[in-house]
A and B are shown apart, each in its own frame.
Chain A
Amino acid sequence: MLKRQYIPIAVTALLFIAMFGVGSFRYTGFFSLQVIFNLLIDNAFLLVAAVGMTFVIVSGGIDLSVGSMVALTTMISASLLKLGWPPYLVIPLVLAVGACFGSMMGAIIHYFRIQPFIVTLAGMFMARGLCYVIDINTITIDNVFYKNMAQTKIALPGGSFISVSVLIALAVVGAGYYLAHYTRTGRNIYALGGSEQSAHLMGLPIGRTKILVYAISGICSSLAGVVFTFYMLSGYGLHALGMELDVIAAVVIGGTLLTGGVGYIIGSFFGVMIQGVIQTIISFEGTLSSWWTKIVIGLLLFLFILLQRLLSERRWAQQKG
């Protein structure tokens, strides 16, 4: 019998399969390995960012700066490459920028007890603004390494292929899964999200964990930015506008509780994939327009939050009774 805590994640996975099934029945050419791989290729950056966001939400916080961080990363990378910097310097640098940015926000949240929501909001303004300070126009990238990354197709059996970004994204998901479920840090994060006070009384390093969580999210979003740069081959201040919402939606649809303490990296994976399937179905449909994506995602968000609410309420009632 399925444990109650796994119901949301099972619903998410089933929903993904069901949506994919509907698509396969409706459209010829939908049911193929390549369509699944395309989901991964097109959403690799979202997947990377969602792993970081899962940690933040599990810890009981939220990070609104993700989308702007992606934009800032594309901007820094593009401008440095234009100056002739080699990629092996640029990529570590942007990752370091992401880590610093994240840990700074984490430190402000922890030491000055300001709500994560408002601090990361300021971070969002800051990163977006810095993009425009660098340049208000698109900077195209013609670096050979980046072009190779964008165009390399890794052939798989059955004539299908994936891109390098997919490998990066899957590695991040794997690392996130390991960190969340098999390390002490992971348990600290879950404990922090469950009840900060209890975690504090148990002697867990609250401050370190909190700052680390936002640093992870910062690194993940700048890595997502790197992957996004491979995908777009340009830097632009308006890249990834509103992406934080897609990421939060993916994490919530994946069964992570926004109140913290409960969450699954694999759930976020399926959350991203569901968004991808919706987009693919809409593009196969042809007549439906892109705004339906937003409406459907909003509806799904509503259903999943309601489901979580019902489940947690019943659990609460059981404990009480």
Chain B
Amino acid sequence: MMKHHLFWPLSMLGALLLFNLIYSPDFFTVNMRDGHLYGSLIDILNFGSPLILIALGMTLVIATGGIDLSVGSVVAIAGAISCLIVSKGSDQNELALVLTAVAVSVLLSLFAGVWNGFLVAGAGIQPIVATLILMVAGRGVAQLITDGQIITVSSTPYKYIGAGSLFTLPFCIFIVAAIFILAYLLTRKTALGLFIEAVGCKPTASRLAGVRSSLVILAVYMFCGLCAGIAGLILCSNVSSADGNNAGLWYELDAILAVVIGGTSLNGGRFYLGGTLVGALIIQTLTTTIYMIGVPPETTLVVKAFVVTAVCLIQSESFRQAVRLRRSKRQWIKGKELNPHA
């Protein structure tokens, strides 16, 4: 059982939840108020949904041996353009207007993915460098769209994306669930997942074996851009405003962290969507816990640093070997002491 890839992430999440239960017993209570469910657990799902989305896209990118640093900027761009379109409308509550805004920002984020994918697969630039370009320029573009201001909108349909509720649950949870299921079915019930892992293992070999690796890479970056764009919509709709400078800041790092905690190797070649989901929930629960126990929220970063280091060390073959070596040496010495003439 310990060999299962979800064992460590799930036990980490379990330990965090257990700690919360002991620390504040009403952590698990969920209240019904005005037809909506309220509670810490719902909050974790609600505020964690942008991170889960971005991390899902990032998982597939990392599975191909790449990385996408530009997701934070894509979040900012998608949020900025949707808020701009909504704020320009004569009647902000018009449904068609909001749908246009959503469509435009989704298209724009897909285009960002095409751009990244083209640089990686077409021009053959290292992923970390290729996406660095959009990471630097993207925030500039977002600020260009908002003209350096924070755009505020007052549109009920737009607000619904991030703060509305459906069947007593936050609406964004359903968006995340739909995309998760879609990604899961596409990668695990079709050959697509196998192609992605093949490209991550060895692009040349997979191309020789008949996989159109550049198409796979392009698709993966497009999916990542799409996820980031939708996350941007959720984030900006939740606060009904777009801030080109700060929307989605540091999200790329949290997303990579979630993917790594979930057991996906940064070297590419295999991926676990379920693991990423748990990883993102761990990060969100960690943040909530830190807020709740009254530790200054600023220390979140230090805690996260320790978590990253610990997770990477556990994943590192050399580290495990070093630990194993020491243990076996100790056992050898113990054996000598017990039986000196053996």
Q: List chain A positions with a Cβ less than 8 A from chain B.
A: 62, 108, 111-115, 117-119, 121-126, 128-130, 132-133, 136, 237, 245, 248-249, 252, 258-259, 289-295, 297-299, 301-302, 305-306, 309
Cα–Cα, bound, A243→B129 (Å): 16
A61 CB to closest chain B CB (Å) equals 11
The interface residues of chain B lying within 8 Å CB-to-CB of A62 are 128
Residues of B within 8 A of A298 (CB): 133-134, 136-138, 140
| Chain B, Cβ-Cβ closest to A130 | B302
Residue in A closest to B136 when the chains form the complex, CB atoms: A298
* Residue from B124, B128, B316 within 8 A of A112 (CB atoms): B316
Whether the Cβ atoms of A117 and B299 lie closer than 8 Å is no
Q: A258-B129, A305-B129, A309-B124 are in contact. Are A297 and B308 (CB under 8 A)?
A: no
Residues of A with C-beta under 8 A to B319: 112
- Give chain A nearest CB distance to B80 CB in angstroms: 11
How far is B124's CA from A309's CA once the two chains are assembled, in angstroms? 8
B298 contacts A129, C-beta separation under 8 Å: yes
Q: How far is the CB of B53 from chain A (nearest CB, A)?
A: 21
B298–A305 contact, CB under 8 A? no
Given A114-B312, A291-B144, also A133-B133 (CB < 8 A): no
Complex partner residue of B302 from A112, A118, A126, A301, CB under 8 angstroms: A126
Pair B140/A301 contact, Cβ less than 8 Å: no
B244 — nearest CB in chain A belongs to which residue?
A291
Q: Please encode chain B, from 119 to 145, with 1 for each CB lying within 8 Å of some chain A CB and 0 for all others.
A: 000011110111011111111110110
Q: Is there contact, CB below 8 Å, between B312 and A118? A: yes
Q: List 7 A-B contacts (CB under 8 A).
A: A112-B312, A114-B312, A291-B148, A294-B139, A294-B140, A306-B123, A306-B125
Interface pair A305/B125, CB less than 8 Å apart: yes
> CB of B294 within 8 A of chain A?
no
Count contacts on B: residues with CB < 8 A to the other chain.
47
Taking the complex as formed, is B215 at the interface, i.e. its CB lies under 8 A from any CB of chain A? no
| CB pair A294 B256 closer than 8 Å | no
Return the 5 tightest CB-CB contacts between A and B, nearest first. Answer: A298-B137, A132-B298, A294-B140, A129-B301, A129-B302
Given A113-B318, A122-B308, 19 more pairs with CB closer than 8 A: A62-B128, A108-B309, A112-B316, A114-B315, A114-B316, A117-B67, A118-B312, A121-B256, A125-B305, A129-B300, A132-B298, A136-B298, A249-B132, A258-B129, A291-B139, A293-B140, A295-B140, A297-B137, A309-B123
A305 to B304, CA, bound (A): 32
Cβ of B123: which chain A residues have Cβ within 8 Å of it? 306, 309
Q: Are B141 and A295 in contact (CB under 8 A)?
A: yes
Contact status A125-B318, CB under 8 Å: no
B266 at the interface (CB under 8 A from A): yes
Known contacts A112-B313, A118-B312, A295-B140, A126 near B125 by CB under 8 Å: no
**Are A132 and B301 neighbours in the complex by a CB distance under 8 Å?**
yes
On chain B, the residues within 8 Å of A309 by CB distance are 123-125
CB distance from A139 to the nearest CB of B (A): 14
Within 221-260 of B, Cβ neighbours of A (below 8 Å) are at 244, 253, 256, 260
Interface string of B98-137 (1 = CB under 8 A from A): 0000000000000000000000000111101110111111
Pairwise interchain contact A133-B129, C-beta atoms closer than 8 A = no
- Docked Cα-Cα span, A125 to B253, in Å, equals 9
B136 touching A245 by the CB < 8 A rule? yes
A128 to B298, CA, bound (A): 9
Using known A-B contacts A129-B302, A258-B129, determine if residue A299 contacts B137 with beta carbons closer than 8 Å: yes
Q: A132–B132 Cα gap in the complex (Å)?
A: 27
Q: Is B25 an interface residue (CB 8 A)?
A: no
Q: A121-B256, A133-B298, A237-B298 are in contact. Are A113 and B137 (CB under 8 A)?
A: no
A261 and B79 CA atoms in complex are apart in Å by 40
Please give me the residue from chain B that is nearest to A133 by CB atom.
B299
B296 interface hit (Cβ, 8 Å): yes
Bound-complex Cα distance A309 to B138 (A): 22
Question: Does A249 contact B253, Cβ atoms closer than 8 Å?
Answer: no
Closest chain A CB from B77 CB (angstroms): 12
Contacts of B296-340 to chain A: CB distance below 8 A: 296, 298-306, 308-309, 312-313, 315-319, 322
- Is there contact, CB below 8 Å, between A259 and B137? no
When distances are taken between beta carbons in the complex, the residues of chain A under 8 Å from B253 are: 121, 124-125
Residues of A within 8 A of B300 (CB): 129
Alpha-carbon separation in the docked complex, A115 to B256 (Å): 13
